[in-house]
């Protein structure tokens, strides 16, 4: 594996399967009375968050602590970033405090790549702008494999605001590496122009895609990244691209419903669908800790650190 995890596209099939298999092993520790492993004792993980997060930030913190690493949580709000300090100076300051790994979320696409050129430790991309969110894709693949037993040949439909979604891009890259067939569905205004170069197909018709899906992954409409009107109204969007109980009934019996969170209940997903037995949304959060433990372990620990 590379020293950094910046893009899901950097992972070979062997790398990705190693992470998922390691996460499977590490998930077993969550069922023990004492959940901690000594694997990363003496190592320091810095969580550097310039954008809001609930799941990813807490999950990386839990993962690092379960591996006995020291954890420093940095939030741009309330830091010297508010006084104009640059990403580079912030990163060098944190490195001077002994960071072995920096987990970064940033509003600018490419920020983790820049950071990797400035620090000696490993850099993990926890979401950069509309670009990528590789550990989300890994935890999604982990969840699909656990629920459905395989990834090869799995038909995955990703629905909604693809244009602004780093989750969609990372999932397309990772799932295609792992042999799944991905279809993106959304209004034409929310599908990126460059999608023709992505390893997936595109449809504008959710009702046609659902009966052919083993997995349907609903995405949030990212109003905060929109500077124009991409659809006539929220109600119209929901009518064409929202998943309600009637639409969920069009899925094959074994199919699951996923969402990376945070959800807009009643917009892209109805509350009864989000809370249904087919929904993996809570499992995704739990699996995120195991997958992020695996990523930190493989980047920082390696085989010699296993104990």
Active-site entry in 29, 55, 113, 278: 55
Number of H helices, E strands in the chain: 11, 9
Count of residues that bind ligand CP according to CB under 6 A: 10
Rg (C-alpha) for the chain, rounded Å, is 19
Q: Give the nearer residue to ligand CP in terms of CB position, either 9 or 261.
A: 261
| Residue 170 engages ligand CP in binding (rule: CB under 6 A) | no
> Rounded to the nearest whole angstrom, what is the least distance from the CB of residue 284 to ligand CP in the complex?
8
Question: Which of the stretches 64-72, 114-122, 173-181, 255-263 binds ligand CP when contact is defined by CB under 6 A?
Answer: 255-263
> Which of 160, 242, 260, 301 is in the footprint of ligand CP by CB under 6 A?
260
Of the candidates 22, 39, 44, 56, the residue annotated as catalytic is 56
Nearer to ligand CP, 133 or 292 (CB): 133
Are the beta carbons of 289 and 250 closer than 8 angstroms? no
Distance of CA 74 to the CA centre of its chain: 20
Measured between alpha carbons, how far is 43 from 62 in angstroms, rounded to an integer? 15
Residue of the chain from 9, 107, 129, 261 that contacts ligand CP (CB under 6 A): 261
Measured from the CB of residue 62, what is the shortest distance to ligand CP in angstroms? Answer: 13
Contacts (CB under 6 A) with ligand CP, residues 24-63: 53-56
Contact window for ligand CP (CB under 6 A) among 82-90, 170-178, 218-226, 257-265: 257-265
Whole-number Å distance between alpha carbons of 112 and 4:
9
User: Would you count residue 73 as binding ligand CP (CB under 6 A)?
Assistant: no
- List the beta strands (DSSP E) in the chain: 44-49, 70-75, 101-106, 122-128, 155-159, 181-185, 201-203, 215-218, 256-258
Distances (CA, A) of 112 to 29, 92, 100, 127, 299: 30, 14, 15, 9, 15
- 183 an active-site residue? no
User: Is residue 90 among the annotated active site residues?
Assistant: no
Closest CB 56 distance from ligand CP, rounded Å: 3
Catalytic option among 4, 57, 66, 105 = 105
Identify whether 83 is a catalytic site residue. yes
CB distance 160 to 219 below 8 Å: yes
Q: Give the residues across from 124 on adjacent strands.
A: 5, 103
4: CB partners within 8 A, 6+ apart:
112, 116, 122, 123, 124, 125, 299
Min dist CB 95 to ligand CP, Å, is 24
Please confirm, yes or no, whether 105 is among the known catalytic residues: yes
DSSP-assigned letter for residue 172: H
In the complex with ligand CP, the residue whose CB is nearer, 37 or 169, is: 169
Question: Least CB distance from residue 219 to ligand CP, whole Å?
Answer: 10
Q: Taking the complex as a whole, how short is the minimal distance between the CB of residue 24 and ligand CP, in angstroms?
A: 21
β partners of residue 101: 45, 122
Catalytic residue among 32, 77, 83, 120: 83
127 binds ligand CP (CB under 6 A): yes
At closest approach, how far in Å is the CB of 69 from ligand CP? 19
- Distance (Å, whole) CA 236 – CA 232: 6
**164 a catalytic residue:** no
Identify residues 175-214 at the interface with ligand CP (CB under 6 A): none
Alpha carbon of 117 to those of 67, 88, 110, 120: distances in Å? 26, 10, 11, 8
Instruction: Summarize as ranges the residues that interact with ligand CP (CB under 6 A).
Output: 53-56, 127, 133, 136, 260-262
Give the residue numbers marked as catalytic: 55-56, 83, 105, 133
């Amino acid at each position: 594996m590379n020293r950094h995890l910046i893009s899901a596209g950097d992972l070979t099939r062997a790398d990705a399967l190693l992470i998922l298999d390691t996460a499977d092993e590490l998930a077993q520790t969550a069922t023990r009375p004492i959940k901690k492993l000594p694997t990363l004792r003496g190592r320091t993980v810095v969580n550097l968050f310039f954008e809001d997060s609930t799941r990813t930030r807490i999950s990386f913190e839990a993962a690092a602590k379960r591996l006995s690493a020291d954890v420093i949580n940095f939030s741009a709000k309330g830091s010297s970033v508010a006084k104009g300090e640059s990403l580079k100076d912030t990163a060098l300051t944190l490195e001077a405090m002994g960071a072995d790994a920096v987990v970064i979320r940033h509003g600018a696409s490419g920020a983790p790549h820049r950071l990797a050129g400035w620090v000696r430790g490993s850099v993990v991309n926890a979401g950069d702008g509309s670009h990528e969110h590789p550990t989300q894709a890994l935890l999604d693949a982990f969840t699909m494999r656990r629920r459905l037993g395989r990834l090869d040949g799995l038909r995955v439909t990703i629905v909604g605001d693809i244009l602004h979604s780093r989750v969609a891009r990372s999932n397309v890259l990772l799932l295609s590496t792992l042999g799944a067939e991905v279809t993106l569905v959304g209004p034409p205004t929310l599908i990126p122009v460059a999608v023709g170069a992505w390893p997936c197909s595109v449809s504008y018709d959710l009702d046609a895609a659902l009966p052919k899906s083993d997995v349907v992954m609903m995405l949030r409409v990212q109003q905060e990244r929109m500077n124009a009107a991409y659809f006539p109204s929220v109600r119209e969007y929901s009518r064409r691209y929202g998943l309600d109980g009637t639409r969920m009934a069009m899925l094959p019996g074994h199919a699951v419903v996923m969402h990376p969170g945070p959800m807009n209940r009643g917009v892209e997903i109805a509350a009864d669908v989000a809370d249904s037995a087919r929904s993996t949304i809570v499992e995704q959060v739990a699996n995120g800790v195991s997958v992020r433990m695996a990523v930190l372990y493989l980047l920082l620990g390696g085989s010699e650190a296993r104990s």
